């Protein structure tokens, strides 16, 4: 482990890049997922293009999508830096999966509650923001937490487009020192710890939102 300690700053730099890619791509994926999940319930003129986006990005490889952004777009006159390619590529890919989670939660929302909102003269926007989304979010959170863990693991793909993330740095150390076991062991532990942090955060948020919603319900 002396080798790993000697290269600890390299690994910490890679860890920072991995966290940055995961957070930014996760935020983009959530924003796209919510927007497209809602749009798929709209008129066909909006729903069909969104449906095509979801099917294309769910049905193709995330690695190929990154390669298209990094290697193909420059040939078409649009050059993106590796960080932008990584964030946009993973955000678009996992935004499509997130869209399915949102759509499923909204489709399974109890019809009786929608009818009750209409009876209370709530507008469509009020029904969505005050009734539907708060409860649907509780249903979505476990699946969204799993998606974020998957996104974290997929972030290692950015090492193949020259972005110096944790995987890239571990492979660099492995090539320099030939200490494969140590480098890969640290890599496994790092991803495991990060995944556990995401899962813990999702569970804590679910518990907090659930308690807040129950409190609001009891007050009423």
Q: What is the pLDDT of residue 105?
A: 83
Q: Kindly state the percentage of the chain with pLDDT values over 90.
A: 59
pLDDT band, residue 135 (cuts 50/70/90): confident
Sequence spans of domains, the chain: 2-219
Residue 130 burial by Cβ neighbours in a 10 Å radius (0-12, 13-18, 19+) = middle
Please compute the mean of the pLDDT values over residues 9-19 and round it to a whole number: 95
**CB contact at 8 A, 196 and 102:** no
pLDDT at 219 over 90: no
Residue 63's contacts (CB-CB under 8 Å, 6 or more residues apart) are: 157, 160
- In words, the CATH class of domain 2-219 is mainly alpha
pLDDT at 217 over 60: no
pLDDT band, residue 129 (cuts 50/70/90): low
The whole-angstrom separation of Cα 62 and Cα 93 is: 6
Compute the mean pLDDT over every residue in the chain, rounded to the nearest whole number. 87
The whole-angstrom separation of Cα 171 and Cα 167 is: 6
**CB contact at 8 A, 32 and 95:** yes
Residue 44's contacts (CB-CB under 8 Å, 6 or more residues apart) are: none
The whole-angstrom separation of Cα 65 and Cα 62 is: 5
Give pLDDT tens digits for 64-121.
Answer: 999 999 999 999 999 999 999 999 999 999 999 999 999 888 877 767 666 666 666 6
Where do the H-state alpha helices sit in 40-132? 44-58, 62-67, 82-107, 111-119, 124-126
Name the one residue in this structure whose structure tokens are 């709530």.
122
């Amino acid at each position: 482990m002396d080798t790993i300690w000697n290269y600890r700053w390299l690994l910490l730099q890679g860890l920072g890049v991995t966290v940055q890619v995961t957070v930014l791509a996760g935020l983009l994926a959530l924003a796209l997922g919510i927007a497209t999940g809602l749009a798929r319930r709209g008129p066909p003129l909006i729903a069909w293009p969104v449906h095509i986006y979801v099917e294309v990005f769910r049905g193709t490889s995330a690695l190929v999508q990154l390669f298209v952004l990094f290697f193909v777009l420059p040939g078409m006159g649009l050059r993106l830096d590796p960080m932008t390619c990584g964030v946009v590529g993973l955000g678009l890919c996992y935004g499509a999966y997130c869209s399915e989670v949102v759509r499923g939660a909204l489709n399974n929302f109890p019809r009786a509650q929608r009818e009750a909102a209409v009876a209370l003269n709530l507008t469509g926007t009020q029904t969505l923001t005050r009734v539907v989304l708060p409860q649907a979010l509780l249903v979505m959170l476990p699946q969204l937490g799993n998606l974020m863990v998957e996104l974290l693991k997929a972030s290692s793909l950015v090492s193949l487009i020259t972005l110096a993330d944790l995987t890239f740095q571990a492979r660099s150390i492995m090539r320099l020192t030939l200490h494969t076991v140590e480098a890969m062991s640290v890599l496994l532990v790092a991803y495991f710890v990060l995944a556990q942090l995401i899962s813990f955060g999702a569970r804590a948020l679910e518990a907090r939102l659930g308690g807040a919603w129950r409190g609001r319900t009891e007050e009423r």
